[in-house]
Amino acid sequence: MDRPAADAGRRHRERGAAPAAGHRDRRALPGQRRRRGALDRPDALDDRRSHRAVASALAAAAPLHRRRDLRRRVAVAGAAAAPAARRDPAGCALGGAARAARGVARDGVELPRPRAARAHGQHRQHPRRRPSRGAARSLVDRAVPVGAAGGDHAGRLRHRRHLARHRRAPPTIGAGAVSTPEALLELDDVSVRFRLGRSRGDAEVRAVTDASLSLQAGHVLALVGESGCGKSVLASSLLGLLPANAQVKGHATVRAGGPVELLSASEAVLAGSVRGRRIGLVPQSASTHLTPVRTARSQIEETVRELRAGAGADELAERVGLRPRDLDRYPHELSGGMVQRVAVALALAGDPPVLLADEPTTGLDRPLIDRTTDLLAEAAADGRAVLLITHDLAAARRVATDVAVMYASRIVETGPAAEVFADPWHPYTAGLLDALPEGGFRPIPGHPPVLSDLDRLEQEWGCVFCLRSPDRPGFAPCSGVPDLVRSGARRVAAHAPC
């Protein structure tokens, strides 16, 4: 054998030889993944097994989820850790399981219950089976009679409060922007009807009935409800964008920059001092509202010139999270989220104190929905009043400070968003929350009534929502059209049996 070949064989044998005394061998043992520093800590494999065992034991002790049982859960987990670690050969670590368990024993902080993994595409099941709807109840302590949202109302309430505790906190609204909330826009008994013919006996569509709302500076008011209940019509009536056959009654006053009565104002006043200057509109399906043969920059610059605004197109683009070069594209060259940001930039061009966002998240996926609603939250943090019209309760819960629930042209419940979502008083609000994934996918039976039949239905039934709850014990027509009963900061349309 020649010398180079002999040297190569010698070097190969030396690399395969056992390490000298005191030498740290970095090669992975059989069955163990090689990881830096693993042999520096001889107990690393046992720690990882122990961590996984603690997590498995916590999952086994999930029924013991109340605060007074937390120390018992940790004790059960610790007792099962040693034998479970011996049974687990994988050695995969769930990094913070043991530290979290020790934190529970030390601080008494409740941990969310671990949930079993589910296959791709499988819907998450509700953790608690609830009985059917129960009899009507009365909020005696609040002096507000309200119908039963479900038979197990106490259990549903505990579950919603549990979700509220462990949900990620929404963006801070209005912190440091305004010291005392000021009503920038007030609606008082606004009603909108559409006559479908010229004769007196022709049908009428009652799109909005006696709507009263107040938008405060630094707040996001979410107007939620099923499609076709009159939310967008209410927003269009404030800007004078209704067709000629619309009949509008009531009062709507914007107070920023001097009070202006919107429902009786002329087209010259609305176009010259309201639209874009005092009230900005983020339209529904923004891509259909942009001119397709002009770039986004040209449309923003035209809006800035007409409103004589101080901010330029590039500054508005950066404010809504767009790059200046994105404005040189045509609408069809922009993604759905970018088009929506262009619409928000157009609404902010005149620096209006009030923003009306009409279904701004339609057709967007969840990350883009979150980004769009965060833009509205930032606008409220600057001291504006924002009306968010949506049927996406998750988006409303993310950023809203107040919520108003609309059903069949009427507002049936209003109040602080955290309170309404945690403890709904009206059965329709509770039904909307039950239709969410965390509510168990329990849709409200039936369909909303046709708005042209509301006069007849209210004469026969009083509250038209009774038509969608015929299986509730004690079901019967209501005694009359419900009035909004105030209790503290909340209002609800309530009377027996609702």
Higher per-residue pLDDT: 230 or 104: 230
The pLDDT tens digits of the residues spanning 107-126 come to 333 334 444 444 444 444 44
What number of other Cβ atoms are within 10 A of residue 273's Cβ? Answer: 15
Confidence check: pLDDT of 373 > 80: yes
pLDDT in the model for residue 259: 94
d(CA 475, CA 480): 15
Using one digit for the tens of pLDDT, what is the confidence trace for 257-289?
Answer: 899 999 999 999 999 999 999 999 999 888 888
C-alpha angle with apex 273: 269 to 278, nearest 5 degrees?
130
How far CA 135 is from CA of 131, 418, 498, in Å, comes to 12, 26, 10
Per-range mean pLDDT, top range of 155-159, 198-202, 265-269, 482-486: 265-269
Q: Which two tokens stand for residue 158?
A: 């505990």
Domain 183-493 has CATH 3.40.50.720: no
Q: What percent of the chain has pLDDT over 90?
A: 49
The pLDDT, as a whole number, for residue 161 is 57
Q: What is the pLDDT of residue 475?
A: 56
Q: Say how far apart CA 178 and CA 384 lie, in whole Å.
A: 9
* Beta-carbon contacts of residue 216 (< 8 Å; ≥ 6 apart): 181, 182, 183, 184, 385, 402
Q: What is the pLDDT of residue 63?
A: 42
The pLDDT of 145-165, averaged and rounded, is: 51
Calpha distance 207→66 (Å, rounded): 47
pLDDT category at 13 given cuts 50, 70, 90 is: low
Output the CA torsion sign for 333, 336, 341, 342.
positive
* pLDDT (0 to 100) of residue 470: 63
What is the pLDDT confidence band of residue 154, given thresholds at 50, 70 and 90?
low
- Per residue in 288-319, pLDDT (tens digit) is 889 999 999 999 999 999 999 888 999 999 99
- Model pLDDT for residues 52-81, shown as the tens digit of each residue: 554 554 444 444 343 334 334 334 444 444
Q: How far is the C-alpha of 441 from the C-alpha of 422, rounded, in Å?
A: 17
Host H or E run for residue 296:
helix 296-307
Per-residue pLDDT tens over the stretch 405-458: 999 999 999 999 999 999 999 989 999 999 999 889 999 988 899 999 998 988
Using CA atoms, how far residue 84 sits from 13, 45, 81, 94, 447, in Å, is 41, 13, 5, 14, 53
CA distance 480 to 307: 48
Q: List, for residues 316-352, the tens digit of each pLDDT value.
A: 999 999 999 999 999 999 998 999 999 999 999 999 9
Portions of the chain given CATH number 3.40.50.300: 183-493
